Copies of this chain bind each other. A is one copy, B any other.
Amino acid sequence: MSLTSPEVSAFADRVPAYLKRLERTTDALHPPAATDPERLHQAIRYACEGGKHLRALMVYAAGEALGVAAEKIDAAACAVELIHAYSLVHDDLPAMDNDDLRRGRPTVHKAYDEAIGILVGDALQTSAFEALATTEALDAEQKVRMIRALTHASGSLGMVGGQAVDMASENLTLTLPQLESLHARKTGALILVTCQLAGIAANASEATNQALEHYGKCIGLAFQIQDDVLDQIADTATLGKTAGKDLAQHKSTFPSLLGLEQARQRADALFDEARTAARNISGHADPLLWLADYIQQRKH
């Protein structure tokens, strides 16, 4: 399935509108930058700017595949991006990955200060659950199911647990299963939950959810392998964040365990597996196929 076939390009044509919806939802959720305390509210907005918003696009793509109206997944797309943004702000702190650059700009604690960095991350996490609790487009049961899924994906058994394992694994050589388990939690869980949230919005069948989750798991792992590859081969200007960090921090990566070429092949195989899963979804698979292509071709 190529990016230029007419039916596939249809989702690509709608991407700007989806990103606009994301921006509007996020903007409406947060108090204006001039709201007291101003510095905090400015920094909250700063932390939400930039980024590729791949997770939000996955929510919209999965929602389209299942025939869900965009209103029903705006909150989910926004919530997942807010959890992602909070995790970046906290992971960049000096006590964590100590990074000065994110999305091509100074990290929050560099642009403001460390205390603001901690508080902005805290507030963004709160906003994520607020987005889901306050949307008017879902029934209460769906909101609760989404909040439950998001807490599971982002908590100590998901994203936060993965970050703890990542910190503890510096200077260790992990086995491939250990590395995959680390990333299934650190980045995979939040990518997987994008599919689960769309499934909840659609009240999808068990079979559909399973196919969609398989797609999400493959994309999540492929994405991380690709991240490791890009960290090794791309430059800082292209990435918008510090390149070559894994090596500098003595982290096990997919290229370090498999070799660069093998790592690339593994990622490609996973993207193919994701496409196969997408075609098994009883719906309109094109948005998910387009997204797999789009992520596969990213340079940062």
Contact = CB atoms under 8 A, between A and B. Distances in A.
Interface of A: 30-31, 35-37, 39-41, 44, 86, 90, 93, 95-96, 113-119, 121-123, 125-127, 129-130, 132-134, 139-141, 143-144, 147-148, 151-152, 154-157, 160-161, 163-165, 167-168
Total identical chains: 2
A126 B154 contact: yes
Contact of A37 (B122, B127, B165): B165
B164 A148 contact: no
A93 B96 CA distance: 13
A143 B148 CA distance: 11
9 closest cross-chain pairs (CB), A and B: A95-B114, A140-B140, A130-B151, A126-B155, A40-B164, A133-B147, A123-B156, A133-B148, A37-B164
Q: Main SS of chain A's interface residues?
A: helix
A148 B134 CA distance: 7
A161 to B, nearest CB: 5
Nearest to A140: B140
A81 B285 CA distance: 44
Nearest to A41: B156
A96 B41 CA distance: 18
A266 B31 CA distance: 33
Contacts of A157: 31, 35
Given A90-B122, A122-B125, A140-B143, A39 B164 contact: yes
B119 A164 contact: yes
A88 to B, nearest CB: 12
Contacts of A133: 144, 147-148, 151
Contacts of A167: 115
Given A39-B164, A132-B147, 18 more contacts: A31-B157, A37-B164, A40-B160, A90-B118, A93-B118, A95-B113, A95-B114, A96-B115, A96-B118, A115-B164, A116-B164, A123-B160, A126-B151, A130-B155, A133-B147, A134-B148, A140-B141, A140-B144
